[in-house]
């Protein structure tokens, strides 16, 4: 009987196989993590809007039926991110409302640039624990806002503070709420209107 020759496997082949398996596992892990990250954003936003977590206000379709004698002061804060070219301010800095009663404030935005631009507003309230009780019925922050050069618009917000606020022992001594908005650019910079009218184009880099 003749002995069959056994060809030993090259150590390099084993190393290459292990490297290939490791790379494949890493690639699958990265894809899964990216997918979960994208899914987490809308889920987190939904969670915040439902629970008021992190000072995120809630959205209501109708006013409560109960109005209490207790009042709170609501202060308004406005901010503009770099690159938008707008001014943005509340018509009043503070209002006092009864718990459960409707409150309204008008914010004024003006496009001071020479181009049409679109902004989107993010918001929160402070202290953060108030977010579960602060409800908006209508708000400019629900949609993007587009302003022509020089255009100024009034943007109302209708809100109420849930009467259940009075039953929260952690808010017993909180008499003032701050509602804060920040406008960010919602689109890439548009062509400068003044240059477009004169037929000028930006110089090539």
**Count of other CB atoms within 10 angstroms of residue 60:** 16
Q: Does domain 58-185 have CATH number 2.60.370.10?
A: yes
- Phi, psi at 172, each rounded to 5°: -60, -40
**Count of other CB atoms within 10 angstroms of residue 70:** 13
Q: Which pLDDT belongs to residue 64?
A: 86
User: From CA 84, how far away is CA 118, in angstroms rounded?
Assistant: 8
Between residues 143 and 190, the one the model is more confident about: 143
8 Å CB contact between 57 and 123: yes
User: From CA 176, how far away is CA 94, in angstroms rounded?
Assistant: 9
User: Residue 61: pLDDT band by 50, 70, 90 thresholds?
Assistant: confident
pTM of this prediction exceeds 0.85: no
Mean pLDDT computed over 40-58: 43
Between residues 24 and 127, the one the model is more confident about: 127
Mean pLDDT computed over 173-185: 95
User: Residue 50: pLDDT band by 50, 70, 90 thresholds?
Assistant: very low
First to last CA, the chain: 81
Strands 58-59 and 86-90: unpaired
Q: Which pLDDT belongs to residue 59?
A: 74
- Phi, psi at 139, each rounded to 5°: -165, 140
User: Residue 60: pLDDT band by 50, 70, 90 thresholds?
Assistant: confident
Within 8 A by CB and 6+ apart from 166, the residues are: 68, 70, 99
Q: Which pLDDT belongs to residue 146?
A: 96
Q: 109: closest CA among 138, 132, 68, 80? A: 80
User: From CA 94, how far away is CA 74, in angstroms rounded?
Assistant: 5
Indicate the average pLDDT of the chain.
77
User: From CA 35, how far away is CA 30, in angstroms rounded?
Assistant: 9
Please report, for the chain, the start and end positions of each structural domain, with discontinuous segments joined by +.
Answer: 13-47, 58-185
User: From CA 88, how far away is CA 78, in angstroms rounded?
Assistant: 6
User: From CA 121, how far away is CA 142, in angstroms rounded?
Assistant: 8
């Amino acid at each position: 009987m003749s002995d069959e020759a056994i060809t030993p496997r090259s150590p390099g082949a084993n190393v290459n196989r292990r490297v290939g398996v490791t790379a494949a596992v890493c690639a699958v892990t990265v894809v899964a993590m990216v997918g979960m990250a994208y899914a987490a954003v809308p889920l987190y936003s939904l969670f915040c809007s439902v629970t008021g977590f992190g000072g995120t206000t809630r959205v209501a379709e109708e006013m409560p039926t109960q109005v209490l004698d207790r009042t709170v002061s609501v202060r308004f804060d406005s901010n503009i991110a770099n690159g938008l070219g707008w001014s943005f301010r509340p018509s009043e800095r503070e209002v006092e409302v009864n718990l459960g009663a409707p409150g309204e404030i008008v914010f004024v935005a003006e496009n001071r640039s020479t181009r049409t631009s679109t902004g989107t507003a993010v918001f929160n309230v402070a202290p953060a624990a108030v977010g579960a009780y602060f409800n908006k019925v209508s708000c400019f922050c629900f949609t993007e806002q587009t302003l022509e050069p020089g255009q100024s618009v009034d943007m109302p917000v209708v809100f109420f503070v849930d009467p259940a606020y009075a039953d929260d022992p952690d808010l017993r001594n909180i008499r003032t709420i701050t509602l804060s908005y920040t406008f960010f650019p919602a689109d890439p910079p548009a062509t400068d209107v003044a240059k477009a009218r004169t037929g000028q184009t930006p110089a090539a880099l």
